[in-house]
Amino acid sequence: MVDLKGETVLVTGASRGIGAAIARLAAEAGARAILHASAPGAAIDKVAADIGAPRSDVICEDLSAEDAGFRLFDRALAAAGRIDGVVNNAGVYLESLLDGARADWTTGWRKTCAVNVQAPADICHAAINHFRERGGGAVVNIASRAGHRGDSMEGAAYAASKGAILAMTKTFARQLAAENMLFYAIAPGWVETRMAPKDIETRARAVADIPLGRVASPEEIASIAVFLLSGACPSATGATFDVNGASYVR
């Protein structure tokens, strides 16, 4: 059993899917989980109830807004007094169609980059400054298989944003390891979340591309994230952990 007793972890996008699974498993390991959601609602309330988190540990921020990442970290720090680990999980997938309106293309790219790149970068910025005061800390960034191999034409913005997250993780890991700041990335393929294909034909094609024969569960991603937060393997800092059923092997 991974031990996170006494640790405080900020998890973005914690209302469902991978984020909710990470929050639950971190709490099960003894951590205090600060839960982020884009807006109030029954989903984040349920996660908070499941782990016994007080209302003060639930923070809502629209990460597409300017400086939202900084605000989120500052609010989490104000609520908890200290942050030992961060999981940048929140993300959006917005299609940007080549044959659509240029305004829609621009809006899709701008919002994707704001939520998937700028907000995590700003959270990392704030976390780094805090970790320097505390003598270290850990960040797990949830990227995607698409950041390595690309995506559909409509998903170019998403793939580009996840590639940026991978590059950012490697950079911070290389530059900050000597200060006991550890940065990891997890790059899932299809996961059983809202982003997974639902119609029968698309689902069949997606699964046919996975040698393991199924999509991953959110709990599989959570188990890796919580292990990395535990500090059990600091020498893995800078690494990307692929979880895709061998559908993309580097």
**Domain range holding 126?**
8-243
pLDDT of 202 over the 90 cut: no
Domain contains 88:
yes
pLDDT of 206 over the 90 cut: no
Domain count, the chain: 1
pLDDT of 158 over the 70 cut: yes
This prediction's pTM: 0.95
Confidence of residue 66 (pLDDT cuts 50, 70, 90): very high
Low-confidence winner among 18-22, 28-32, 179-183, 196-200 (lowest mean pLDDT):
196-200
Confidence of residue 176 (pLDDT cuts 50, 70, 90): very high
- The per-residue DSSP string of 213-235 comes to SSPBPHHHHHHHHHHHHTTS-GG
pLDDT at 1 (0 to 100): 75
Domain contains 3:
no
pLDDT at 193 (0 to 100): 81
pLDDT of 44 over the 70 cut: yes
Q: Rounded mean pLDDT of the chain?
A: 95
Domain contains 134:
yes
pLDDT at 244 (0 to 100): 96
CATH of the domain at 69: 3.40.50.720
Domain contains 237:
yes
> What tens digit of pLDDT does each residue of 159-173 get?
999 999 999 999 999
Catalytic member of 93, 158, 184, 248 = 158
Distance, in Å, from the CA atom of 21 to the CA atom of 221, rounded to the nearest integer, reads: 8
- The one-letter amino acid code at 235 reads S
Confidence of residue 192 (pLDDT cuts 50, 70, 90): confident
Domain contains 91:
yes
Q: Is 158 tagged catalytic?
A: yes
pLDDT exceeding 90 applies to what percent of the chain?
92
Distance, in Å, from the CA atom of 248 to the CA atom of 250, rounded to the nearest integer, reads: 7
> In the numeric block, which tokens belong to residue 13?
């996008």
For 6-17, letters b (16+ CB in 10 Å) and e give ebbbbbbbbbbb
In 3-state terms, what secondary structure has residue 31?
coil
Question: Are 213 and 207 spatial neighbours (Cβ–Cβ below 8 Å)?
Answer: yes
Structural Rg of the chain based on CA atoms: 17
> In the numeric block, which tokens belong to residue 122?
């700003």
Average pLDDT over residues 78-107: 96
DSSP 114: I
The burial class, CB within 10 Å (0-12 / 13-18 / 19+), for 86 is: buried
Domain contains 154:
yes
pLDDT at 205 (0 to 100): 82
pLDDT at 201 (0 to 100): 63
Domain contains 248:
no
Domain contains 146:
yes
pLDDT at 190 (0 to 100): 92
